[in-house]
Structure 1
Amino acid sequence: MKFWSTNTSPIADDLVTDIGNESPIALTGMSEAQKQKIWSAIEQLYRTGNHPQISFCLRRQGQIVLNRSIGFATGNGPDDLAFSAKRLAKTTTPICLFSASKLVTAMLVHLLDQEGALNLLDPISHYIPEYAKHGKRHTTIFHLLSHRGGIPKVEGKIAPETLFDKAQILQLLYDAKPMSVSGSKLAYHAVTAGYILGEVMERVTQMPLTQLLHERISEPMGMRCFNYGLAPEFRDEVAKNYATGFFSRMGTDQYLRHVLGADLQTTVDLTNDARFMDTISPAANIYTSAEEMGRFFEMLLNGGQYQDRQIFSPETVFRATLPTSGYLMDRSLMIPMRYALGPMLGGDPVGIFGPMTGQAFGHIGFSNIMCWADPKRDISVSLLSTGKSIVGTHIPPLLNVLYQISTQCPSLERQRRRGVFASDQQQAEKI
Structure 2
Amino acid sequence: MTLQIHGSVAPGFERIRDEFAEGFSEKPQMGAALSILHNGESVVDLWGGVADERTNAPWSDETVSVIFSCTKGLVSILAARLVQDGLLDYEAPVADYWPEFAAAGKADVRVKHLLSHRSGLSAPRSPLTAEQIIDWNHVVRELGAQKPLWEPGSGYAYHAITHGWLIGEVIRRVSGRTVGQYFADLITTPLGVDAWIGLPPSLSSRVAHMQVGSTLAELTAQQATARKPEETDWSGLAMTLGGALAPELIGPGDSDGFNSPEIQAAEIPGAGGIASARAVASIWSSTIMPVGGVRLLDDDTIATATVPQSEGLPVWAVPGPWPRWGMGFQLDSEARRYTTAHGFGHDGAGGQVAFADPAAGVGFAYLTNQMEAINDLRGTRIVDALRTTLDL
Structure 1 CA distance for aligned equivalents of residues 327 and 271 of structure 2: 17
Residue 292 of structure 1 pairs with residue 273 of structure 2: no
Instruction: Give secondary structure in 1 for the equivalent of 2:47.
Output: strand
Q: What's the counterpart of residue 212 of structure 1?
A: 182
Is the Cα–Cα contact under 8 Å of residues 124 and 238 in structure 2 kept in the other structure? no
Deviation at 1:44, TM superposition (A): 1.5
Deviation at 1:280, TM superposition (A): 0.4
Q: What's the counterpart of residue 140 of structure 2?
A: 170
Structure 1 CA distance for aligned equivalents of residues 181 and 377 of structure 2: 41
Residue 41 of structure 1 pairs with residue 19 of structure 2: yes
Q: What's the counterpart of residue 7 of structure 2?
A: 19
Deviation at 1:397, TM superposition (A): 4.8
Instruction: Give secondary structure in 2 for the equivalent of 1:55.
Output: strand
Q: What's the counterpart of residue 402 of structure 1?
A: 383
Residue 328 of structure 1 pairs with residue 282 of structure 2: no
Residue 159 of structure 1 pairs with residue 132 of structure 2: no
More displaced, 54-63 or 308-317? 308-317
Structure 1 CA distance for aligned equivalents of residues 211 and 361 of structure 2: 33
Is the Cα–Cα contact under 8 Å of residues 288 and 297 in structure 2 kept in the other structure? no
Q: What's the counterpart of residue 251 of structure 1?
A: 222
Deviation at 1:136, TM superposition (A): 0.9
Instruction: Give secondary structure in 2 for the equivalent of 1:133.
Output: helix
Is the Cα–Cα contact under 8 Å of residues 24 and 30 in structure 2 kept in the other structure? yes
Structure 2 CA distance for aligned equivalents of residues 369 and 99 of structure 1: 8
Structure 1 CA distance for aligned equivalents of residues 300 and 249 of structure 2: 41
Instruction: Give secondary structure in 1 for the equivalent of 2:19.
Output: helix
Residue 352 of structure 1 pairs with residue 332 of structure 2: no
Deviation at 1:240, TM superposition (A): 0.9
Distance 1:40 1:193, change over 3 A: same
Residue 150 of structure 1 pairs with residue 120 of structure 2: yes
List per-residue Cα deviations over 1:45-89 (Å, max 9, x = no partner).
Answer: 112318621110122233322101111111x2xxx3xxxx33211
Structure 2 CA distance for aligned equivalents of residues 46 and 200 of structure 1: 40
Structure 2 CA distance for aligned equivalents of residues 265 and 205 of structure 1: 33
Distance 1:309 1:396, change over 3 A: closer
Deviation at 1:285, TM superposition (A): 1.4
Aligned ranges 1:183-332 → 2 under 5 Å: 183-223=153-193, 225-246=194-215, 247-248=217-218, 250-252=221-223, 257-261=236-240, 262-264=245-247, 267-268=250-251, 269-302=256-289, 305-324=290-309, 327-331=311-315
Aligned AA (1:375): P
Is the Cα–Cα contact under 8 Å of residues 51 and 385 in structure 1 kept in the other structure? no
Count of matched residue pairs: 372
Deviation at 1:384, TM superposition (A): 0.5
Structure 2 CA distance for aligned equivalents of residues 51 and 110 of structure 1: 38
Aligned AA (2:325): Y
Structure 2 CA distance for aligned equivalents of residues 264 and 190 of structure 1: 11
Across the aligned residues of Structure 1 and Structure 2, the Cα RMSD in angstroms comes to 2.4
Is the Cα–Cα contact under 8 Å of residues 108 and 213 in structure 1 kept in the other structure? yes
Deviation at 1:292, TM superposition (A): 0.9
Is the Cα–Cα contact under 8 Å of residues 107 and 320 in structure 1 kept in the other structure? no
Distance 1:270 1:396, change over 3 A: closer
Q: What's the counterpart of residue 130 of structure 1?
A: 100
Structure 2 CA distance for aligned equivalents of residues 16 and 109 of structure 1: 39
Instruction: Give secondary structure in 1 for the equivalent of 2:212.
Output: coil
List per-residue Cα deviations over 1:300-357 (Å, max 9, x = no partner).
Answer: 122xx333334333322232223236x412345643221111111113xx45135x73
Deviation at 1:375, TM superposition (A): 2.9
Match of 1:382 among 365, 370, 389: 365
Q: What's the counterpart of residue 426 of structure 1?
A: none
Aligned AA (1:144): L
TM-score by length of 1: 0.80
Over the matched positions of the two proteins, sequence identity in percent amounts to: 22
List per-residue Cα deviations over 1:378-401 (Å, max 9, x = no partner).
Answer: 22210001112223xx62555433
Aligned AA (1:289): S
Is the Cα–Cα contact under 8 Å of residues 363 and 370 in structure 1 kept in the other structure? yes
Structure 1 CA distance for aligned equivalents of residues 377 and 68 of structure 2: 23
Match of 2:349 among 347, 359, 366: 366
Q: What's the counterpart of residue 230 of structure 2?
A: none
Structure 1 CA distance for aligned equivalents of residues 113 and 327 of structure 2: 9
Structure 2 CA distance for aligned equivalents of residues 314 and 116 of structure 1: 15
Deviation at 1:190, TM superposition (A): 1.0
Long gaps (5+) in structure 1: 1-11, 26-30, 412-431
Instruction: Give secondary structure in 1 for the equivalent of 2:174.
Output: helix
TM-score by length of 2: 0.87
